[in-house]
Amino acid sequence: MTAKIARRGVSLPRVLSYRRLIMNDPQRSAGPSAPPPLEVIALTKRYGDLAAVDDVTFSLAAGTVTGFLGPNGAGKTTTLRLLLGLAEPTSGDALVVGRRYRELEHPARHVGAVLESNDFHPGRTGRDHLRVVAATAAIGDDRVDEILELVALTSARDRHVKSYSLGMRQRLGLAGALLGEPALLVLDEPTNGLDPAGVQWLRGVLRAFADGGGTVLVSSHQLAEVAQSVDRVIIIDRGRILTDAPLAELAIGTRTLEDVYLTVTAGPR
């Protein structure tokens, strides 16, 4: 991310110079005894006979970006909903900084999450959307304006969200997730609708976030993009984890992440 990128008259800002805006959580400098940003323990969600999430266990280390991959219906989004407290697990636990999500007092100060690219009231301005989100964690308007600058929406901040492109909505969602300077980012398909410049920009934001000690869990189908932006890969299918390894151990020589993905998810469906 070296050059300023012109984009529909809006410049996506240089990411590295904005690192201080993304993260500033004292929790990140906690010692080695601090709980992991995310710990998922035997997490299971059953709908009748169907196990949408089946005995899923993994833990994320601070300062890493993890790709969460799997076919449609594999259980990715259900897992994310369980760890964000939107759904109740049948059994098992998901702990964010050592606590169940619903027990966090100001979750926005620990976790930033985007599950859908269009979770906005169409008749509310982008800035007001962020103010509504910020209010729950007692975050002031200064931070709202700062984060709007980071995601290059300052010039569009007083427009209704219904006039935003999909890429702008993705950036607004990310802005909402970053508002509370969280330690953990959970993003479901954040590159959908982003153009190549936007994808590159997002990659820079996530890398800067992890370099500052933050942790990212990002689900995606864009394997080529994932291969460029993550440290570690978790592949899930039919609710079970099939692969959990550093990217460097999976994509070796001429074997690509896509080869690995298609091989491990190739069983009968």
Partner 1 sequence: MNGQLASEVLKVRTTRTTVGVLAGVLGVAMLATALHAFGLPADKLSAGGDQLQVFIDVGSNMGMLFAALAGAMAFTGEIRHGTIRPTLIGTPQRRQVVAAKTAVNLVTGFLIGALASGAVAGAGTLFLRARGIDVHVAGADYWELVTGGAVAAALWSVIGLGVGTVVRSQVPSIVALFVWVLFVENILLASFPEIGRFAPGALARTMAGQTSGTLDSAVLAALLLAGYALATIAAGALTTTRRDFA
Interface residue with partner 1, options 6, 138, 224, 262 (CB under 8 A):
138
176 phi, psi to nearest 5 deg: -60, -40
**Which contiguous run of DSSP H or E holds residue 208?**
helix 196-211
Nearer to partner 1, 187 or 250 (CB): 187
199 phi, psi to nearest 5 deg: -65, -45
Task: Determine if 6 is a binding residue for partner 1 (CB under 8 A).
Answer: no
Calpha distance 265→243 (Å, rounded): 10
The stretch near partner 1 (CB under 8 A) out of 1-9, 11-19, 115-123, 212-220 is 115-123
Interface residue with partner 1, options 120, 164, 209, 261 (CB under 8 A):
120
Nearer to partner 1, 41 or 115 (CB): 115
Nearer to partner 1, 130 or 257 (CB): 130
**Burial state string for 182-218 with b = 16 or more CB within 10 A and e = fewer than 16:** bbbbbbbbbbebbeeebbbbbbbbbbbbbebbbbbbb
Interface residue with partner 1, options 131, 143, 221, 240 (CB under 8 A):
131
Nearest distance from C-beta of residue 71 to partner 1, angstroms: 19
What is the token pair recorded at 11? 């410049």
Interface residue with partner 1, options 5, 108, 184, 236 (CB under 8 A):
108
What is the token pair recorded at 262? 């298609």
Longest dimension (CA), the chain: 53
Beta strands in the chain (DSSP E): 5-7, 10-12, 38-47, 50-60, 65-69, 91-96, 99-100, 111-114, 184-188, 215-219, 232-237, 240-246
Task: Determine if 249 is a binding residue for partner 1 (CB under 8 A).
Answer: no
Nearer to partner 1, 20 or 102 (CB): 102
The stretch near partner 1 (CB under 8 A) out of 7-15, 81-89, 211-219, 224-232 is 81-89
Interface residue with partner 1, options 10, 34, 87, 197 (CB under 8 A):
87
User: Residues for the chain: how many in total?
Assistant: 269
Nearest distance from C-beta of residue 103 to partner 1, angstroms: 8
The stretch near partner 1 (CB under 8 A) out of 79-87, 207-215, 221-229, 252-260 is 79-87
Nearer to partner 1, 8 or 102 (CB): 102
Task: Determine if 88 is a binding residue for partner 1 (CB under 8 A).
Answer: yes
Nearest distance from C-beta of residue 256 to partner 1, angstroms: 33
Amino acid at 26: P
Calpha distance 188→185 (Å, rounded): 10
Q: Which residues bind partner 1 (CB under 8 A)?
A: 81, 84-88, 101-102, 104, 106-108, 111, 113, 115-116, 118-125, 128, 131-133, 135-138, 176
